[in-house]
């Protein structure tokens, strides 16, 4: 294994679903030893959830495979005394704890920040929640789509006559994961300077609002909400031509571009009647329809070539499979793979960060439940006999109703 930026950092990962596991995968890609602590038998809740009722290799969830590479799995019943002893031993040399149970669950189980701090004052303890640790929403489930609805992005997306439209990916959770990593790395740097650990708290509501700051500032400054257009204009605050346009065989996007230049490419001089800043916003739906009537006359390839030739900002609209075969994606080597003992060859999107001295890489497949229990417990001095006894006595972990879903 080559040198990694976070080599020597140990993370105890109690998280499940997307927010926490994505955060810890990012740390693992950079070389951290991430020990994924799961319920015996069932493991992370994402192991039993999938899209379209499809399972890789017959039994593995693509959702779980996506967010759990480069980790080791330790299966323990968190309510047992044996688990408490093992985790306390691991905590002595651990650097980071990550969890995204509902607020209060880990503390009730005896795994709150103060519990870990008493064992290791240098530990960085990161909690991810839906709405923070207290307040009127503290008992609400913190799921991605719910947060998109509550924080404005859904009301700003889609056509005016259609229902508010969620983003077609777990956007809230992924923003939360990035904020977790941001907080954890900041806390580790502070620890290097001060010798002290600390608690880091991240919540999806704060993250979603912070990542829409330009929209929030605009709305609050003028006391006015954005109005969704009826057409394919790509942002509720933008004017034409910013948006998505049909072609004879698909769709293209056109961003901020001189309207007169665009009209010159399309060849219909009558469109210049709209070449006025006020009209480009006030009549943006009408303008979109007029432009679409011209773009649909050409294929996507033909239109993109003409637009790029005029230095107009544009791009193709691709599906996930088309994106995987994109020449720039291939050039960057973004689609990678790992071998899994059940799922076989798993194609994934590799690390998104390049580093000259300590490049991230995929070293381990997403683990089976408890795959590394013997290895991990053996590393802290447990005998084979003691490990056998712990595994034999382990019952199922916390029920889903106790664990909750916060990212």
Instruction: Compute how many other C-beta atoms are within 10 angstroms of the C-beta atom of residue 256.
Output: 10
Instruction: Compute how many other C-beta atoms are within 10 angstroms of the C-beta atom of residue 48.
Output: 12
Q: What are the structure tokens assigned to 64, written together?
A: 């779980």
* Extended beta strands in 204-250, E state: 243-246
Alpha helices by DSSP H, 267-393? 277-282, 284-295, 300-309, 320-324, 327-332, 373-379, 384-393
Burial degree of 384 (CB within 10 A; 0-12, 13-18, 19+): exposed
Strands 243-246 and 251-254: antiparallel
199, 203, 207, 210: CA torsion to nearest 10: -80
DSSP state of 314: E
- For 96, 128, 148, the CA distances from 27, given in Å and listed in that order, are 10, 15, 26
In the chain the first and final C-alpha atoms are separated, in Å, by: 31
Q: Report which of 204, 205, 199, 203 is spatially closest to residue 184, judged by C-alpha positions.
A: 199
DSSP state of 358: S
Q: Please list the residues that pair with 203 across neighbouring strands.
A: 129
> Would you call 208 helix, strand, or coil by DSSP?
helix
Active site positions, annotated? 235
Q: What are the structure tokens assigned to 24, written together?
A: 């810890």
Q: Report which of 360, 299, 392 is spatially closest to residue 6, judged by C-alpha positions.
A: 360
345, 347, 351, 357: CA torsion to nearest 10: 50
């Amino acid at each position: 294994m080559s040198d990694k930026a976070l080599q020597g950092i140990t993370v105890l990962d109690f998280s499940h679903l997307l927010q926490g596991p994505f955060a810890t995968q990012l740390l693992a890609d950079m070389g951290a030893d991430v020990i994924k602590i799961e319920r015996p038998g069932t493991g992370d809740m994402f192991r039993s959830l999938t899209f379209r009722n499809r399972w890789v290799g017959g039994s593995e969830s693509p959702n779980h495979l996506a967010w759990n590479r480069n980790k080791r799995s330790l299966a323990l019943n968190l309510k047992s005394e044996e688990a408490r002893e093992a985790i306390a031993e691991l905590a002595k040399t651990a650097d980071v704890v990550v969890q995204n149970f509902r607020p209060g669950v880990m503390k009730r189980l005896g795994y709150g920040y103060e519990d870990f701090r008493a064992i290791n004052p240098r530990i960085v303890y990161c909690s991810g929640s839906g709405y923070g640790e207290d307040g009127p929403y503290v008992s609400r489930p913190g799921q991605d789509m719910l947060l998109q609805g509550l924080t404005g992005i859904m009301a700003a997306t889609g056509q005016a006559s259609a229902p508010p439209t969620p983003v077609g990916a777990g956007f809230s959770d992924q923003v939360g994961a990035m904020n977790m990593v941001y907080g954890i790395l900041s806390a580790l740097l502070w620890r290097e300077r001060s010798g002290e650990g600390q608690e880091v708290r991240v919540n999806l509501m704060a993250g979603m609002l912070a990542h829409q700051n330009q929209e929030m500032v605009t709305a609050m400054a003028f006391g006015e909400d954005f109005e969704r257009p009826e057409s394919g204009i790509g942002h509720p605050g933008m004017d034409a031509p910013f948006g998505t346009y049909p072609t004879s065989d698909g769709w293209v996007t056109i961003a901020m571009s001189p309207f007169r230049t665009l009209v010159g490419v399309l060849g219909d001089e009558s469109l210049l009647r709209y070449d006025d800043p006020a009209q480009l916003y006030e009549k943006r739906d009408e303008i979109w329809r007029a432009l679409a009537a011209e773009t649909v006359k050409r294929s996507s390839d033909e239109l993109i070539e003409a637009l790029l030739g005029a230095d107009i900002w544009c791009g193709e609209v691709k599906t996930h499979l088309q994106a995987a075969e994109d020449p720039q994606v291939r050039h960057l080597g973004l689609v990678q793979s790992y071998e899994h003992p059940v799922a076989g060859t798993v194609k994934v999107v590799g690390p998104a960060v390049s580093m000259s001295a300590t490049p991230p890489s995929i070293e381990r497949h997403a683990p089976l439940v408890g795959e590394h229990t013997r290895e991990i417990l053996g590393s802290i001095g447990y005998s084979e006999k003691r490990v056998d006894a712990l595994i034999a006595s382990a019952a199922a972990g916390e029920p889903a109703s106790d664990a909750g879903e916060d990212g």
